Structure 1
Amino acid sequence: RGGAPGSPGHNGLPGRDGKDGKDGQKGEKGEQGEQGPKGDNGEIGSRGTEGPRGFPGTPGMKGEKGEGAYIYRSAFSVGLAGRAPHPNVPIRFSKIFYNEQSHYDATTGKFHCSIPGMYYFAYHLTVYLSDVKVSLYKKDKAVLFTYDQFQKNNVDQASGSVLLHLNAGEEVWLQVYGEGENNGVYADNINDSTFMGFLLYPDLD
């Protein structure tokens, strides 16, 4: 017959590691962690494509009123008060229609240029009692001549006009030339003999 059971033996040495088990199921999403420190600036990227044109901006505030351009003025219009004086001297037109800038001198009969530029001059003369020969002078030189032969028992007209460039200080006037019998320029209360001129445009250089 068998004997009585023996006492339990001591634990054996640990065995070798077993093979890795299969992956377990995916766990639940964890809570968001704290924000980490700011990283370094990255390198500048390449230039992007040009965007579409923006909408027009709102109108700006109205600017202050500027100074107006300076207007150059020079003009005169005069008439004869009676018979013309002796020939070969300036005719003194003493009836003043317009001479606001005082560029015409009624005591000498001469227009004095104060503004260099291009000027227009004209005269319209009543011819009576004798022939008329007149010249328009610029700076002691006749530049325009007009002759009208008087018709007996009739009142006639003589006229002329010209464009002249004048420098500052130059003068323009009208005078009878020739002998005394050519001095038929006339004016009375119903007939006028007039002389006029004005600046067309100044020299801006």
Structure 2
Amino acid sequence: MVKPLWALLLFLLLAGSTSRVQGDENEEGEEEEEEEEVPTAEPEDEDPVEDVTEPEGPLTELAVPDDRKPCPMWMGGLPGNPGHSGHPGRDGRDGQDGPQGEKGDKGEPGDKGEAGAKGAVGSPGPRGVMGNVGMKGAKGHSALSYHASFSMGLTDPVPADTEKPIRFNKHIYNEDYHYSDATGKFHTAIAGVYFFTYHITVYPKDARVALFKNDKPVVITYDRYQEDNLDQASGSVIVKLQAGDEVWLQIYGDEDFAGVYADNTNDSTFSGFLLYPDMSAAKEEEQEFEGRRRRRSVGRGRHF
């Protein structure tokens, strides 16, 4: 009895295996028929889609094909893992230009900008056309017609006062009275170049004399006195003067240098004259000075 039971169980197992194999083949046949019956819809009037080869990388691993099939019996398979995120799509085409907008309002004027850098000097322009000959000018004045000269001397020794000009009161030549014995100064009436010279007798002390032009010394002469002996000192200079300038001699220093001497047999002199005038202003200056000279000559006699 035992052998018949084992034979029966073996038969049942073989029969179940055969039925399962047939069931699997029937289900596969039905799935293939359904896939053949579903037509594939192709889009109309669309641009052909280019095959895009996806770059290989850590996020683009291709899924391994799964050959597993659904369970033919009552048991279902486990859900699969979610797939990877796809790559971003390509940029779309540029749209058409929109219509032109309305003209905006006029803006406010901007602030004034800073001045730019000075440009380089340009090249010289072409030489201009020669102008017409001008009219003949008025007749000028000869330089020989302008004179200014004087030569004055001392009659007594110079006082010890060193803060004032030396007043030469002995008239050797002073026809135009350009030198004033009242002030001891030469007054420039005609602008030009002048020559001045002086010769002094030194006694009984040292002498230091300066020629001044408008309160400023131009030349200085010093002579040391030799005891029991008269000494001589001199100096000269050429200067350019304008109308109204003044020139004079003065002791330079304290009273220890006031040894300028004169008597009946020993002279000390101061002279000057115009070398040539400044013709551009000489005529006008001469007229102005003439009026001043006449006024000074009225009071000249009071100082002899």
Same fold (TM over 0.5): yes
Q: Distance in 2 between matches of 1:203 and 1:153?
A: 48
Q: Which digits, 9 at most, give the CA deviation of each residue in 1:110-158, with x for residues without a partner?
A: 0000000000000000001000011000011001100000000000001
Amino acid at match of 2:228: N
Q: Distance in 1 between matches of 2:177 and 2:254?
A: 32
Q: SS where residue 96 of structure 1 aligns?
A: strand
Q: Tell me the TM-score normalised to structure 2 length.
A: 0.45
Q: 1:154 to 1:168 in 2, by over 3 A?
A: same
Match for residue 165 of structure 1 among 240, 253, 262: 240
Q: Which digits, 9 at most, give the CA deviation of each residue in 1:62-89, with x for residues without a partner?
A: xxxx999461000000001111131131
1:60-79 matches, within 5 Å, as 69=142, 71-79=145-153
Q: Which digits, 9 at most, give the CA deviation of each residue in 1:139-194, with x for residues without a partner?
A: 11001100000000000001000000000000000000111111100000000000
Between Structure 1 and Structure 2, which shows a larger proportion of strand residues?
Answer: 1
Q: CA deviation at 1:102?
A: 0.7
Q: Tell me the TM-score normalised to structure 1 length.
A: 0.66
1:118 paired with 2:186, answer no
Q: Distance in 1 between matches of 2:175 and 2:252?
A: 30
Partner residue in 1 for 2:218: 143
Partner residue in 1 for 2:128: none
Structure 1 unmatched ranges of 5 or more: 1-65
Deviant stretches of 4+, over 2 Å: 66-70
Amino acid at match of 1:75: S
Structure 2 unmatched ranges of 5 or more: 1-138, 281-304
Q: Distance in 2 between matches of 1:188 and 1:177?
A: 22
Q: Distance in 2 between matches of 1:75 and 1:151?
A: 34
**Aligned CA-pair RMSD:** 1.6
1:101 paired with 2:189, answer no
Q: Distance in 2 between matches of 1:89 and 1:135?
A: 12
Partner residue in 2 for 1:82: 156
Q: Which has the higher contact order (CA 8 A, sep 6+)?
A: 1
Give the paired residue count. 140
